[in-house]
Amino acid sequence: MHLPSNSTPSGGILDRVTRSRDRSIQWSVAAVTLVAVMAPLLPLFYQAFLDNPLYDAAANYTATNFGALLGHPDMSAALTNTFVFGILSTVVAMIVGLTTAILMVRTDLPGRALLGELLLWPFYISGIILSFGWITVYGPSGIATLWTQRLLGFAPWDLYTMTGLSLVNGVSLAPLVFLYCLASAKMQDTSLEDAAKVCGAGPLRAMLQVSLPMMRPAILFSGFYVFIISIESLAIPLVLGSPVGLKFFTTILYTEGFEQTNPDYGLVASGAVILLVTVTLLLAIQNRFLRGSGKFVTVTGKATQPRLLRLGAARWPLFVVVLLYVVLTIGPVAYGVTLRAFTVVLSPYAPLLDVLTLDNFRQVFSQEVYIRSITNSFLIALIGGAVGTIFVSLIVIVAKRSSFPATGLLEQIAMLPRSVPGLLVGIGAFYAASYLPFLAPLRGSIAILIILFVMRYIPTAYGSIAPALMQIGPEMDRASRSSGADWWQTTVSITLPLLRPAMVTCFCILFIRLLSEYAAAVFLYSPGTEVIGTTMLIFWAQGSVGPVAALAVVQLAIIAIFVVAARRIFKVRIYG
């Protein structure tokens, strides 16, 4: 619901000044969003219509790149695989993420805090490391596979199939759904469940038929977002799909743009444009589903205190189910990567005590460049997470709670970066830094990486803030306005404080994602601006798997310390 910015009591000149300030802030937020998003994307649009690289003075305009891409011999199979992969991944992520969010926040499930922390582990690891971990445990020569073959004579799974890829991707994205739905589940008004119980519904039925539908904004946001991430995913399709000949839209772009002697940048850029158009259509569908969002409001001027659902006899069986999920899907991958970091080689045929070593960590911490990559990643995540949380919160408030004339367009622009793979965004940012004068002072600095990383994850942050705002009723805004406050004063004194839990979640999400990001930096980092991800790529290209695992362990340790510190500093209980 958009509230008019001129609803303050008449005050002549003062009234006009406050309206002018509100408009200036709103337009400034929109302008910064537009520049941040479009600066790296416009060069890709331009490149899509050139027959040579953008930097080639002999480049001419052409429309043949789109035909060449869609006419690629593997494109039909790639589009089918991409769609199926996206649907299956979304189904897995939604079932796991939504179910665990409700269990952790709305029930008396034993060990909720510990289980909640464990459920976030896949979110801490980049796609390449996650794929490596699954291969280490469940691959053809993985520990669990070999043990199962010894016991049963066969392994009842195969990672190198569409089902295997979708399962890995869905499990990796389930924490995103989990985090998006946490704030929504926590903000439920249990008086609605009480009304259903009066009508004869049991506690579980009341939750499923009353509270769960009220979480529709968070469910739709996370569902569409998971599908978008899946269709633009590169690491898992590349690592697990390419060895068996499974083609995907992004792997074709990667092959044509980064594995060829003469990369076809026009074809790659045309693919980026197609992804942008696809995501724009998905956003239009999402917005259509979210029309009339006022009926999802559960936070009003009346105070409510959510109560836990007593699981009764199902309490411990559900605990076993969640623990089994953790043990089978998260635990093996986590300890597989950790064990690999502390071993020369990881194999069930080699006694563990005979292959233990600290050489992988010694190699990581023996060079200044590797240490600097860890420091840079931490600074980028910390600064970028804070700036991104504040900035995206303002974007959401302008888009959802103001009379700004282009709220729908602002929301669509904010969601655009997620439609383009990180490698392509990095290329666009490289072009932008080379050709846009106002970006020249930022070349070769951490600042440009912070801007690029934050821009890339604006949709992630938006999806964690917007559903929470949509559950906050507008009557408190109106009360503030009727007391003489303008839009900006209401935003600072009412809206932002109510969004604090969602903002803390957003900050944690951004910190983790920025710390793990690497793809967007491939074309921008230079000596002095290395990050953990680019260092991992260097080790990976050299075949040094041990140091890659060691860096992953360092990354996990930083995130674990950060999560504990953030909870104590902000004093926000996430799971209970």
DSSP string, 53-67: -TT-TT--B-SHHHH
Position 556 scores a pLDDT of: 82
Position 183 scores a pLDDT of: 66
Count Cβ neighbours within 10 Å for each residue of 551-563 and write b for 16 or more, e otherwise.
bbbbbbebbeebb
In 3D, which of 207, 164, 186, 175 has the Cα closest to residue 96? 175
Cα angle value 517/520/525 (rounded, 5°):
95
Domain hosting 459: range is 13-298+309-570
> Is the model's pTM score more than 0.85?
no
What Cα–Cα distance (Å) separates residue 234 from each residue in 239, 240, 519?
A: 8, 10, 10
What phi and psi, each to the nearest 5 degrees, are found at residue 11?
-145, 20
Cα torsion through 356, 359, 360, 366, rounded to 10 = 160
Place of tokens 């537009």: 34
Domain assignment present for residue 303? The answer is no
User: Going by C-beta distance under 8 Å and a sequence separation of 6 or more, which residues neighbour residue 399?
Assistant: 407, 408, 410, 411, 414, 466
Place of tokens 């997470």: 385
Domains in the chain: how many in total?
A: 1
- What is the rounded CA–CA span in Å between residue 492 and residue 479? 14
Q: In sequence order, what DSSP letters do the residues of 513-548 get, joined into one string?
A: HHHH--GGGTTT--TT---HHHHHHHHHHTT-HHHH
Q: In sequence order, what DSSP letters do the residues of 244-302 get, joined into one string?
A: GT---HHHHHHHHHHSSSS--HHHHHHHHHHHHHHHHHHHHHHHHHTTTGGGG--B-SS
Residue 343's DSSP bridge partners are 356
- What is the rounded CA–CA span in Å between residue 335 and residue 342? 11
DSSP letter at 455 equals H
Domain assignment present for residue 575? The answer is no
For 472, the 3-state DSSP assignment is strand
Amino acid at site 358: L
Could you tell me the two tokens for 228? 């978008």
Cα angle value 499/504/505 (rounded, 5°):
100
The chain-wide mean pLDDT, for the chain, equals 80
12-20: long-range contacts, CB 8 A cutoff, minimum separation 24: 18/486, 18/487, 18/488, 19/486
What phi and psi, each to the nearest 5 degrees, are found at residue 437?
-60, -40
Domain assignment present for residue 265? The answer is yes
- What is the rounded CA–CA span in Å between residue 21 and residue 278? 36
In 3D, which of 399, 415, 389 has the Cα closest to residue 503? 389
Domain assignment present for residue 5? The answer is no
Cα torsion through 197, 203, 208, 214, rounded to 10 = 60
Cα angle value 480/505/481 (rounded, 5°):
5
Cβ contact 572:504 at 8 Å: yes
Domain assignment present for residue 142? The answer is yes
- What is the rounded CA–CA span in Å between residue 92 and residue 227? 11
Helix 265-289 crosses helix 13-48 at what angle (to 10 degrees)? Answer: 140
Domain assignment present for residue 503? The answer is yes
Position 195 scores a pLDDT of: 59
Cβ contact 522:538 at 8 Å: no
Position 151 scores a pLDDT of: 84
Domain assignment present for residue 41? The answer is yes
CA neighbours closer than 13 Å in the CB half-sphere of residue 461: 33
Position 262 scores a pLDDT of: 77
Cα angle value 8/22/280 (rounded, 5°):
120
Position 419 scores a pLDDT of: 64
What phi and psi, each to the nearest 5 degrees, are found at residue 343?
-135, 155
- What is the rounded CA–CA span in Å between residue 429 and residue 267? 18
- What is the rounded CA–CA span in Å between residue 50 and residue 44? 10
* CATH code, domain carrying 119: 1.10.3720.10
DSSP letter at 9 equals P
Position 7 scores a pLDDT of: 45
For 372, the 3-state DSSP assignment is helix
Amino acid at site 561: I
Position 299 scores a pLDDT of: 47
- What is the rounded CA–CA span in Å between residue 145 and residue 360? 25
Helix 13-48 crosses helix 458-470 at what angle (to 10 degrees)? Answer: 140
Which residues of the chain carry a pLDDT beneath 70?
1-18, 183, 186-214, 258-260, 290-307, 332, 347-349, 418-421, 423, 481, 523, 541, 571-576
Position 337 scores a pLDDT of: 81
Domain assignment present for residue 506? The answer is yes
